[in-house]
Amino acid sequence: MKNIKKIGIITGGGDCSGLNAVIDGVTKSAIRKHGLEVVGYYRGYHGLLNNEFMELDLKKASGIMHRGGTILKSSNKDNLFNYRMQNEDGSFEHKDVSNVAVANMKKEGVDALVVIGGDGTLTSARDFYRKGIPVVGVPKTIDNDLPATDVTFGYNTSLETITDALDKIHTTAHSHDRIMVVEVMGRNTGWLALEGGLAGSADIILIPEIPYDIHKVVEKIKERDSIGKNFSVVVVSEGAKPKGGEVTIRETVEDSADSIRLGGIGDVVTHQLQKLIPEHEVRYTNLAYIQRGGITSQFDRALGLQFGVKAVDLLMTGNAGSMVQLRGRKLTSIALEEVVGRGETGETSVGGAKHVDPNGQLVETCRAIGISFGE
Ligand code: F6P
């Protein structure tokens, strides 16, 4: 293994809370513990390709840990091993431009990379490792759908936001006897809806893992009406689908590791409910990117910092080609080869998505206290 003196940080894929905490942990431990120099590439692999970076020092890594997003900016495009380029005649073709990135690293004396991202970003990290670059991956997502780690940073902050939003939405639901439908993110898994809905006192939670029957949702609302609870809060995961039906696609994004963007099922459910229960006003709120922003929670700050420090330790102890993971309360690692490139939903599904167990403890807890899944 080559002698590492200078490392580069890359943040790729959708942003989430805790990314800056990882940058903080990587930078400070690299400088203080290992005596390294650190640079941060702008906009994920785009910065590596165009040699756009900032020098990171103790001052620049200070005061960032609590801030959402990433000071390095991010991109969920730019696969340098299959890069989309426009020809003079306006047509597009895909080329492997990874050698340009490697040459840039060499020019700047960057010996190794810490890459923070989901499946698409970490698949490229694996490919750079195969090319001989020492790389360590750090998994990130708000969706909590990574089987390769028990939990990742970003999820906790999103849950706090969802819970807070549901508390607020309850006041209008109660004052107006309304049915409030709230759509949350999560791609093809229902973790955000389930844990956020449980903590935020949802009455009905619709998740991808339990296809719903709209008439069962109506039944639950009427049951609540019958005991004098003339309002209901329905949390809908963006990946929820009716029994025998399909997911609702918001848009497809060209040249993204996962081109499908879900969204809009909350609107669909709202219209269906309004027709079936005209006696109630039904209103729809989509929490969308509010779930990804804001101040990072204590949990995500602490986890992000630990992931960052561990990533540099792995690099410096000859464990390049691996990804940081949390198992129980222990930080450990797993080979990138074992976890990437198998995603069923793209950028956030390192190693195939981790789904909610429809008969697991969380779902059973919800059922026991009367929360309906529209089954
Ligand atoms: O994976 C994180 C996530 O926020 C998902 O919950 C959501 O489906 C997706 O990213 C949205 O992606 P984009 O930022 O490209 O719209």
Per residue in 145-169, pLDDT tens?
988 999 999 999 999 999 999 999 9
CB-based contacts of 308: which residues, under 8 Å, 6+ apart? 21, 22, 23, 24, 25, 26, 27, 29, 114, 138
Quote the number of domains for the chain: 2
The CA 125 to ligand 1 mean position distance, Å, reads 20
Q: What DSSP element (H or E) covers 26?
A: helix 19-32
State whether 306 and 273 are in the same domain.
Answer: no
Residue 348: inside a domain, yes or no? no
The pLDDT assigned to 167 comes to 98
Residue nearest to atom 15 of ligand 1 (CA): 14
Q: Please give the DSSP secondary-structure letter assigned to residue 318.
A: T
Q: What is the pTM of this model?
A: 0.95
Is the domain of 170 the same as that of 218? yes
In this predicted model, what pLDDT tens digit does every residue of 300-333 receive, in sequence order? 999 999 999 999 999 999 999 999 999 999 999 9
Task: Report the residue among 261, 290, 345, 347 best suited for mutation to probe ligand 1: largest number of ligand atoms under 8 A from its CB.
Answer: 261
Residue 85 burial (CB count, 10 A): 10
> For residue 172, what is the enclosing H or E element?
helix 155-176
Ligand 1 pocket mutation pick from 348, 350, 354 by most atoms within 8 angstroms of CB:
348
Look at residue 283 and give its three-state secondary structure. Answer: strand
Does position 176 have pLDDT exceeding 60, yes or no?
A: yes
Q: Which atom of ligand 1 is nearest to the CA of 250?
A: 16
pLDDT for the residue numbered 32? 98
| CATH value at residue 280 | 3.40.50.460
- Nearest protein CA to atom 8 of ligand 1, as residue: 187
- For residue 256, being part of any structural domain is answered with yes
The range of the structural domain enclosing residue 71 comes to 6-153+296-340
In terms of DSSP H, where are the helices of 33-96? 45-50
User: Residue 2 — very low, low, confident or very high, per pLDDT cuts 50/70/90?
Assistant: low
Specify if 347 maps to a domain: no
135 and 228 co-located in one domain: no
Could you read off the pLDDT of 128-147 as tens digits, one per residue? 999 999 999 999 999 999 88
Q: Is residue 352 part of a domain?
A: no
Handedness of CA 65, 71, 77, 78 (dihedral sign): negative
Kindly provide the b/e burial profile for residues 265-304, where b requires at least 16 CB atoms within 10 angstroms of the residue's own CB.
bbebbbebbbeebeebebbbbbbeebbbbbebbebbbbbb
| Closest ligand 1 atom, residue 239 Cα | 8
Angle made by CA atoms 187, 129, 37, in degrees to the nearest 5: 100
Same domain, 307 and 242: no
Residues carrying an active site annotation: 143
Q: How confident is the model at residue 44 (pLDDT cuts 50, 70, 90)?
A: very high
Q: How far is the CA of 261 from the centre of ligand 1 (A)?
A: 7
Do residue 127 and residue 189 come from a single domain?
no
For residue 193, the 8-state DSSP code is H
Taking the centre of ligand 1 as the mean of its atom positions, its distance from the CA of residue 198, in whole angstroms, is 22
* pLDDT, tens digit, 9 for 90 and up, residues 352-374: 689 999 999 999 999 999 999 99
Question: Measuring from each residue's beta carbon to the nearest atom of ligand 1, which residues come in under 6 Å?
Answer: 14, 76, 141-143, 185-187, 238, 261-262, 292, 348
288 CA → ligand 1 middle, Å: 9
